[in-house]
Structure formats: structure tokens, C-alpha cells
Amino acid sequence: PLRWRESNLPVSAQYQLDGIQYFKFDEEASKEKFDKLTGVLNKLLGGASMAEAAPGEAVFQAEGVEAKSVSPSPSRRAARRRRDTAQKEGIIAAGKLVMTKVVSHLNDFTPEEQNAINQELKWLFNAAEHFSKIRRGAVDAAAPVLVPIPPEAECAPEANNALLPDVDGFTLQLIEGEINSLVKQIIIYSRNLTIELNKQAMLGGEAASNIALGNSIKAQQRGMIERARDLANNMQQVYGVLVYGPADVLDTLV
């Protein structure tokens, strides 16, 4: 994307733009600036790093996202393979899929409502990732989830965005297995949904009359959001926080 003016990004876009770097045009267009941009893009597509593509230029990091150090890849094919793998695996990746392949495709919500739902989904999948890290010993059990509790979430009196201290070990182990299972199912549904959406795109205007295809798309979306709802119920048990975004979306897919 080209960033022309300062703007607030919707929550769903923050994942896709994670770690993005950009040049500031200061809202002044000129042939020289666009030629410079074209040259940088051509070098990046050729495998150059940002520093190699734009030596001596001031590069800005998008606000609200963590800068990432990217090592030069041996080939563009290998880099593409790693990106595809990263997108298809992991708890956070599953959350991105729910937002981009389900919520963003629905017309039942206003942009503000979609953003609120995505904010709840962002907390939900970050909480699940946080829980997983605690179970692996990578994060202290008293540490809070990095994403704030959404304002419309239902919270228990003792909830403080950290793991509840009185959850027994058996429940923790059970929920750990549930998270792994739900994430895998979301990814599988997402792959099936991609196939159906590709069919829809190929049919063009004829897709509207293909009832079976429409029902199949909705079934895959419903499968993804049902797992997100189940994940929300699991996170309520261990964090005392319940987000209703998945249930709200599910109501529109019935």
C-alpha cells in the first residue's frame, strides 16, 4: 500500500501491515518522487533489502507495530515459501484468517462495528497465544496479555488481563489441547473457504445464482467463527474475560 496521508488503520489491517516501512511524501506529488518509489519497488522485488533499495533515504516504521529484522533470503522462491508457511500456521495467524476471510466479507455490520469485532478477535487470539506461551514456559504466568481488554467484553470481578491464579492444572491442560485443536480446525476451514472463494471469483456474475456455492462459502465461514466462539469460551475460563464478537458474527451466518 501507499501511505499518502496520516490515517488510523482498522484493526484487521494492522496484521497485514505488521512491520511495514514507508517513505513520507508529505502529501506533495511529483514525478521525481514517484520515479524514486518505482525504483525502490523494483529493487525490493528483485530481492534487495530496504537499506539496499533506498540507500541514504529516511525510512519510517508504521506506528503501533513492532519492527522486525528480516535476514536476506537465498531466493525469492524460498522467501515466498516461508511467508506462506507463516500465514498458515499459528494462533495469531488463525485470528488473521477469521478477520480477513469472515468478518471483512460480511455486509451486516457497519465499519465501526466491524472494527469493534476485530478488536475483540485481536484480544481473543492474542490471549490464546499468551496462554500457549505460559504453558511452554516462555511467559511468566502473572504477565498480562499484550492487547488491552476490549471495552465491550464481559469481565469477572477478578479479571485483570492476566491468567486467573485459581485455575487448576487439569483445566489448564485441557484448554491447552482445546486451543491447539480449534486453531487447526480454523486453518482447515480457511483453506476450504479459499477454494470456494476462488470458484466464486472465476464464475463472476454467475456466482450469485449458484446457491450450492453460496451455502458452501457460508458453511466454511460459520465453521471458522464457531471455533472462534469456542475459543472465546475457553479464554473466559482462564482469563475471566468473555468477548461476544464471535457470537455476534455467528448470528449473521445462521
Same domain, 113 and 237: yes
pTM of the model: 0.67
Residue 3 lies in a domain: no
Q: Is the pLDDT of residue 225 over 70?
A: yes
Q: Report the distance separating Cα 28 and Cα 45, nearest Å.
A: 25
Same domain, 173 and 136: yes
pLDDT band (50, 70, 90) for residue 47: low
**Cβ–Cβ < 8 Å for 248, 137:** no
Q: Which domain holds residue 51?
A: 11-71
> Looking at the DSSP assignment, which residues form a beta bridge with residue 154?
242
The total domain count for the chain is: 2
Collapsing DSSP to helix, strand or coil, 55 comes out as coil
Same domain, 25 and 108: no
Q: Is the pLDDT of residue 98 over 70?
A: yes
Q: Report the distance separating Cα 245 and Cα 229, nearest Å.
A: 8
Same domain, 92 and 67: no
Q: Is the pLDDT of residue 13 over 50?
A: yes
> Mean pLDDT for the chain?
81
Residues 6+ apart with CB under 8 A from 163: 130, 131, 134, 141, 142, 238, 239
Same domain, 26 and 107: no
